[in-house]
Homo-oligomer: A and B are copies of this chain.
Amino acid sequence: MSIQSHYQSLMTRARQIEALGQVSGLLGWDQETMMPRKAGAQRAEHFAAVEAARHDRLTDKGLADLIDGIDPASLDLVQRRNVAELRRQHERAARIPLRLAEELARLSSEAQDIWVQARAARDFAMFAPALKRMVALKREEAACLRREGQSHYDALLGDYEPDMPADHLAEMLDRLRPTLVALREGIAASGQKAPAISGSFPADRQIALSREVAGLFGYDFAAGRLDLAVHPFSSGTMGDARITTRIDERDPFGCLLSTIHEVGHAVYEQNIDAAMMFTPVGRHASMGVHESQSRLFENQIGRSRAFCDWLFPRMHDTFGNFGLTGADELYRVLNRVETGFIRTESDEVHYNLHIMLRFGLELDLFEGGLEVDDLESEWNRRFARDFGREVPDAAQGVLQDIHWSGGSFGYFPTYSLGNIYAAALTRCLRRDLPDFDGLVSRGDLSPVIGWLNARIHRPGNLMPPEALMRAATGDAVSEIPLIDYLKAKYTALYAL
């Protein structure tokens, strides 16, 4: 077999593996947007069957032989990365028994249904048995995955952010915390309140505005669609990158900012180089990088003073008078800082504190002996300590997020990493596009999107996340741009 046909055999196998992964993604999208209520038991079997097939493909002896038999020296750089990534996927899967892979896939689907019900009932005890099974399976998985000397938690985190140890992340977050606390206290002491909105915000107009804004941020509706979900998310890649949003008819900003956030994810996926479709490099680089795109769109652009120049008249056209006098007031509303219970509704000052709470609990679940039975009380105790308020019920506390029901332990900290990356990228964007604010205020986002396309989107997984970020920003990852950004923004806004 020639080296090229050897390589093509590997890529044919990679294509099937990647396609099955995309099928699982579609099953998940359908479950959260379209699936009828009574389909839960069947859907869990669908996930298990697809995951078992994917696991079989990944652990196949023939694949291992092909990987072992190829000489990387005969390959070009992209091919070498593809083979290395396929090897990594193979080795990861080979550490997980098929039974565990199937059980995790099935339980992720089942537990999500239970979580939905428990959250509606505001009853953690309803969810606890499923979560206990999940934590047990994830502990088992972490024990299988961890390399010599690696912690269990790092083994899980590595699925979302390769080569980013929890220690390193924790250090950055620890250095970030004092800024957040100081800003929160300063803002509270300032006694300033954001103006109140009024008026009516019918669902169809919110959707129409969301669609317009999605297009403005570069979302291609011919390669995606917008639906409603309780917990907005994005799903899919390249020609099929779908987004969801949520609607509250008393407040249009949840819908709008959720849409902008998910568009950030989807525009990333839609713009990965299509020539790499169904190969290991034809994917996002990491969840931290993914989140940097959604956060940059949502916060650095969507919540900026410049964007309010564009947004205010559009909102006025859409909803009529909604109680605000202009872009300045809109900017204040979009950046209202308040100590609330819900992560997804929180402002930029509180957001990372919410993440730190979850990150700490996850570390203790996997490294510190914390058990599910104590999770709710521990959540409430730490929330009171860190946020100074008592959690009123589980739906506003430990049950608020979908992640743990799907087994996504190690995912939360990538949100904060995304904020760190986003601030670093925006600093460079402002340097390379000196009229950044002017462009944003005119709604001319194409130069911004083009900059991100070239540096972050198109390369996909050609490089590890740290190398990608270094290539894009010229710098090592650091929390300093985020600290500088938050200080500058909120000090000015609240005249601290």
Minimum CB–CB distance for A368 against chain B, Å = 38
The answer to whether A50 touches B20 (Cβ under 8 A) is yes
Interface string of A194-235 (1 = CB under 8 A from B): 000000000000000000000000001111110000000000
The answer to whether A50 touches B23 (Cβ under 8 A) is yes
The answer to whether B238 touches A36 (Cβ under 8 A) is no
Question: Is A16 an interface position by the 8 A CB rule?
Answer: yes
Residues of B within 8 A of A15 (CB): 45, 49
Q: Which of A26-34, A288-296, A413-421 contacts B (4 or more CB under 8 A)?
A: A26-34
Tell me the complex Cα distance, A42–B220, Å. 16
Tell me the complex Cα distance, A41–B50, Å. 20
Interface string of A38-69 (1 = CB under 8 A from B): 11111101101110110011000000000000
The answer to whether B39 touches A30 (Cβ under 8 A) is no
Interface string of A1-37 (1 = CB under 8 A from B): 0000000000000011001101100110010001111
Report A263-300 residues with CB < 8 Å from chain B CB. 277-278
The answer to whether A22 touches B46 (Cβ under 8 A) is yes
* A46 touches which of B19, B37, B45, B224 (Cβ 8 Å): B19
Question: Is A401 an interface position by the 8 A CB rule?
Answer: no
Question: Is A481 an interface position by the 8 A CB rule?
Answer: no
Minimum CB–CB distance for A107 against chain B, Å = 15
Minimum CB–CB distance for A132 against chain B, Å = 25
Most buried by B among A15, A49, A57, A278: A49
Tell me the complex Cα distance, A36–B41, Å. 28
Tell me the complex Cα distance, A319–B239, Å. 40
* A36 touches which of B27, B49, B224 (Cβ 8 Å): B224
Question: Is A240 an interface position by the 8 A CB rule?
Answer: yes
This chain: copies in complex? 2
The answer to whether A16 touches B239 (Cβ under 8 A) is no
The answer to whether A240 touches B39 (Cβ under 8 A) is yes
The answer to whether A52 touches B16 (Cβ under 8 A) is yes
Tell me the complex Cα distance, A278–B41, Å. 11
Known A36-B224, A37-B222, A224-B36; judge A46-B30 contact (CB<8 A).
no
Residues of B within 8 A of A240 (CB): 35-36, 38-39, 42-43
Minimum CB–CB distance for A10 against chain B, Å = 16
Tell me the complex Cα distance, A256–B225, Å. 28
The answer to whether B30 touches A26 (Cβ under 8 A) is yes
Report A422-455 residues with CB < 8 Å from chain B CB. none
Residues of B within 8 A of A239 (CB): 36, 38-42
Minimum CB–CB distance for A63 against chain B, Å = 14
The answer to whether A23 touches B49 (Cβ under 8 A) is yes
User: Would you mind naming 5 contact pairs between A and B with Cβ atoms under 8 Å apart?
Assistant: A15-B49, A35-B240, A39-B240, A41-B239, A53-B57
Task: Give residues in A with beta carbon < 8 Å to B.
Answer: 15-16, 19-20, 22-23, 26-27, 30, 34-43, 45-46, 48-50, 52-53, 56-57, 220-225, 236-240, 242, 277-278
Q: Which 3 A-B pairs have the closest CB atoms?
A: A39-B240, A19-B49, A53-B53
Since A19-B49, A19-B50 are in contact, a sample of 9 more A-B pairs with Cβ atoms closer than 8 Å, ordered by chain A residue number, is A15-B45, A19-B42, A23-B50, A30-B30, A35-B240, A37-B222, A38-B223, A39-B239, A53-B57
